Amino acid sequence: MASAEAVAAVVEAGGAHVPGLMRDLEERLATIAQSHGPTLGEHAGATIAAGGKRLRPLLVFVAAGPDPAGRDAALRAAVAVELVHSATLVHDDVLDAAVLRRGRPTVVASAGRSIATATGDLLFSRAFAELAGGGTVDPVRVLSDASSALVQGELLQREDAWKLQTTRERYLRRCDLKTARLFRAACELGALAGGGKVALLGEFGERIGLAFQILDDVLDVSGPAERTGKHRGTDLLDGTVTLPLILARERDPELERLDLRAVRTPEQAEGVCDAIAATGALGAAREEALAMVADAKADLPCLPEPSQQAALELVADSVVDRYS
């Protein structure tokens, strides 16, 4: 995730309206989490509280700009985006039977599959209720499209599990669906709220979303666990083939012959991680992500508001900062 310092810099650069919106976001998320009884409230609240640095809602606010006329729409959109993101994390943990998320016990680990599924469903449904309350159709369509993409990406990941023949192109397609489309939606929703350049800001979001996922996959190999909140090589143990492994197999005959199903313990996964790192694949994957960030920043001078441009450049830099 982006560092707290990097996010604070974005908040400051985004304009005087952003800090207040970030506070309102937290209040609204807490209210929603507690609105459906103590059991779901406990787990929904814990999920939201563990939600990282709120990069996606921050994108909504910065993309919306300072026009007070769009304030309510921007807040609704930011809440909805964060709720969808939180819901996907809960459901992913159910599918993966994950024990930890950002170093904390997952809902499925602490409360079981039924409660975890219900918690994720609650978060999804409340996301669309937030947007529907704004009374316009376009934001609902944008988030619906992104949510459909998330499901497609998850299905693609399941289909590709354990398949070492997964190509770079198919991997990037999966990253686009599972991660980048929600970044795109955050920027488009902000642009719709503030009357900004929807297409330009959407492209920016999608590119940094792709870079974000690639760097996340690099971190899964490089670690350490104290930073990522999970063991090195968790993707390997799940059978998920990511860019570092794809690139490393092109460079190392031993990895090219790897039987991924034979990697069953954290210790074995760490050994494969070391072998991937030794090929230089981590640096190559990082360079691909950096190129995407540079492309994302290249169109920002077209924005009319200098503070918006500066804040979005800092968002892009914060994506890189999570690897540094």
- 110 CB-contact burial (10 Å; exposed 0-12 / middle 13-18 / buried 19+): middle
Query: What is the spatial distance between Cα 153 and Cα 309, in angstroms, rounded to a whole number?
Result: 30
For residue 275, the domain's CATH number is 1.10.600.10
At residue 229, the pLDDT reads 60
Q: Note down the domain range covering 184.
A: 4-309
Asked if the structure places residue 314 within a domain, the reply is: no
Helix axes 38-49, 71-96, angle to 10 degrees: 100
Question: Is 126 inside a domain boundary?
Answer: yes
Is residue 320, in this structure, part of any structural domain at all? no
Facing residues of 104 across strands? 101
- Evaluate whether residue 324 is within a structural domain: no
pLDDT for the residue 1: 47
Measured in degrees and rounded to the nearest 5, phi and psi for residue 104 equal: -115, 155
| 79 within domain boundaries | yes
3 state SS of 104: strand
Rg (CA), the chain: 19
52: exposed, middle or buried (C-beta count within 10 Å: 0-12, 13-18, 19+)?
middle
**Domain assignment present for 269:** yes
Taking only the tens of pLDDT, the chain with its 324 residues reads 456 787 788 888 888 889 999 999 999 998 988 888 888 888 888 888 776 788 999 999 999 998 888 899 999 999 999 999 999 989 988 888 888 777 788 888 988 999 999 999 999 999 999 999 988 999 999 999 999 999 999 999 999 999 999 999 999 999 999 999 999 999 999 999 999 999 999 999 999 999 999 999 999 999 776 666 677 999 999 999 999 999 999 999 999 999 999 999 999 999 999 999 999 999 999 999 999 999 999 999 999 888 899 999 999 998 887 665
How many structural domains are present in the chain? Answer: 1
The token pair at 4 is 């707290």
Please report whether residue 321 resides in a domain: no
Give pLDDT, residue 219: 94
Would you state the pLDDT for residue 324? 57
The answer to whether position 106 is within a domain reads yes
Helix H or strand E segment including 105: strand 104-105
Q: How far is CA 263 from CA 74, 127, 246, 257, 259, in A?
A: 45, 38, 16, 13, 7
The structure tokens listed for 313 are: 């450049």
User: What is the reported pTM?
Assistant: 0.92
Number of Cβ atoms within 10 Å of the Cβ of 205: 29
Tokens of 182: 């929600």
